[in-house]
């Protein structure tokens, strides 16, 4: 049987036992990771975090300098499930209608027609999102939360699964607009992409320059495993992974600790704890388990919380980073031992 037959069987049909279905879902998740790795050299942690967000039906804010493979990663991921992909280059003059689409009047038919924008896709890469003004950034808010776009009072659903991957450059601050707090909170993860190590960079240069014309992105080595509907089923199975009450409480205690921690001016809201549990479920699936452990919560804590806290001016002057503060905080929150 193919992956589609097992993972994406309609709910009206008889399904395999729950344990067997979760096992096959985990195997599919690991195969998707393997296929994305065929196109993206190194960056295994980044690949895992993006996949965790996809399986948890969340969105990702990616921070890193240009040229580290963000577009290649999204294209390779879309290819694994035969999904559509769109890229929007955010600029200061970008209008909300350039993202969502607009309604135009057809003189010949004497009727209004809807012209859908690039947001109607499975994977949306919002490149340098902080270069557009807040009005345009907010055009993503509805679709990220409601999975739909409203044009002239008409609600239009986007294709499922839908995932926004927004990028921002941490070095160039001139001409940028900080993301609104409400929009930052909509991202399940904030993923940081660093420079590859020397061996990975050597492999990357050899791969890209080996017989290829120009610097076109090549995802031909990536195999299409399933259809988009299978990813939706995988997301539903992820939501069924068991979370013990003690592990759930542990995630909540970590999120609440950010509100009283010395050096954190603004702590994570209730969405922080929700993000921890959702992401930990997906991390467990990727690890081949049908239950969440405290280590799963620890694994996802920094990408799930680093954009939900704000450091005090004193710590910023000392050069402290949110990751350093979160690392110390997580070590101080007692994890369940049984």
| Residues 168, 64: Cα–Cα separation, whole Å | 7
Instruction: State the average pLDDT for the chain.
Output: 88
| Residues 185, 293: Cα–Cα separation, whole Å | 24
Q: What is the pLDDT of residue 76?
A: 94
Q: Name the residue among 1, 49, 46 with its Cα closest to residue 27.
A: 1
CA triple 123-126-128, angle to 5 deg:
155
Q: What is the pLDDT of residue 68?
A: 72
Does residue 16 surpass a pLDDT of 60? no
| Non-local CB neighbours of 246 within 8 Å, separated by 6+ positions | 336, 338
Mean pLDDT of 239-258: 97
Mean pLDDT highest for which of 5-9, 132-136, 168-172, 188-192? 188-192
Does residue 12 surpass a pLDDT of 50? no
Peptide bond into 161 cis (omega under 30): yes
**Span of 31-35, 217-221, 315-319 with lowest mean pLDDT:** 217-221
Specify the pTM.
0.90
Does residue 327 surpass a pLDDT of 90? yes
Mean pLDDT of 104-115: 79
In contact, 38 and 76? CB cutoff 8 Å: yes
Domain with CATH 1.10.8.80 in the chain: 243-338
- The owner of tokens 């680093």 is 306
Q: What is the pLDDT of residue 141?
A: 82
Domain with CATH 3.40.50.300 in the chain: 3-240
The region, left, alpha or beta by phi > 0 then psi within -120 to 50, assigned to residue 207 is: alpha
CA triple 324-328-334, angle to 5 deg:
150
Instruction: With cut-offs at 50, 70 and 90, classify the pLDDT of residue 173.
Output: low
Does residue 301 surpass a pLDDT of 90? yes
CATH number for the region 243-338 comes to 1.10.8.80
CATH number for the region 3-240 comes to 3.40.50.300
Mean pLDDT of 188-199: 90
Mean pLDDT of 180-192: 89
How much of the chain, in percent, has pLDDT values that exceed 90? 63
In contact, 49 and 189? CB cutoff 8 Å: yes
How much of the chain, in percent, has pLDDT values that exceed 70? 90
| Non-local CB neighbours of 61 within 8 Å, separated by 6+ positions | 129, 166, 167, 168, 179, 184, 187, 189, 190, 191, 307
């Amino acid at each position: 049987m193919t992956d589609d037959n097992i993972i994406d069987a309609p709910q009206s049909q008889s399904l395999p036992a729950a344990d067997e279905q979760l096992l096959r879902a985990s195997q599919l998740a690991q195969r998707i990771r393997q296929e994305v790795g065929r196109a993206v050299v190194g960056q295994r942690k980044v690949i895992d975090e993006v996949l965790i967000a996809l399986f948890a039906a969340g969105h990702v804010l990616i921070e890193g300098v240009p040229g580290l493979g963000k577009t290649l990663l999204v294209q390779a991921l879309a290819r694994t499930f035969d999904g559509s992909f769109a890229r929007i280059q955010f600029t200061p003059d970008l209008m909300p209608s350039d993202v969502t689409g607009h309604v135009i009047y057809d003189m010949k038919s004497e009727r209004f027609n809807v012209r859908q924008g690039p947001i109607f896709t499975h994977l949306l890469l919002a490149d340098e999102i902080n270069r557009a003004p807040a009005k345009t950034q907010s055009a993503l808010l509805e679709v990220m939360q409601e999975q739909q776009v409203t044009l002239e009072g008409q609600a239009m659903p986007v294709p499922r699964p839908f995932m926004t991957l927004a990028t921002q450059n941490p070095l160039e601050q001139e001409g940028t607009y900080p993301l609104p707090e409400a929009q930052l909170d909509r991202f399940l993860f904030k993923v940081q992409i660093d420079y590859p190590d020397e061996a990975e960079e050597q492999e990357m240069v050899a791969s890209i320059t080996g017989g290829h014309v120009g610097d076109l992105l090549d995802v031909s080595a990536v195999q299409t495993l399933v259809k988009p509907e299978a990813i939706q089923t995988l997301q539903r199975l992820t939501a069924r992974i068991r979370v013990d009450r003690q592990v759930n409480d542990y995630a909540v205690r970590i999120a609440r600790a950010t509100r009283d921690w010395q050096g954190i001016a603004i702590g994570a809201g209730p969405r922080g704890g929700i993000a921890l549990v959702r992401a930990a479920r997906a991390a467990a699936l990727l690890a081949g388990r049908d239950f969440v452990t405290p280590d799963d919560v620890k694994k996802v804590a920094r990408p799930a919380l680093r954009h939900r806290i704000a450091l005090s001016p004193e710590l910023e002057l000392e050069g402290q980073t949110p990751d350093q503060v979160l690392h110390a905080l997580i070590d101080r929150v007692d994890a369940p031992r049984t």
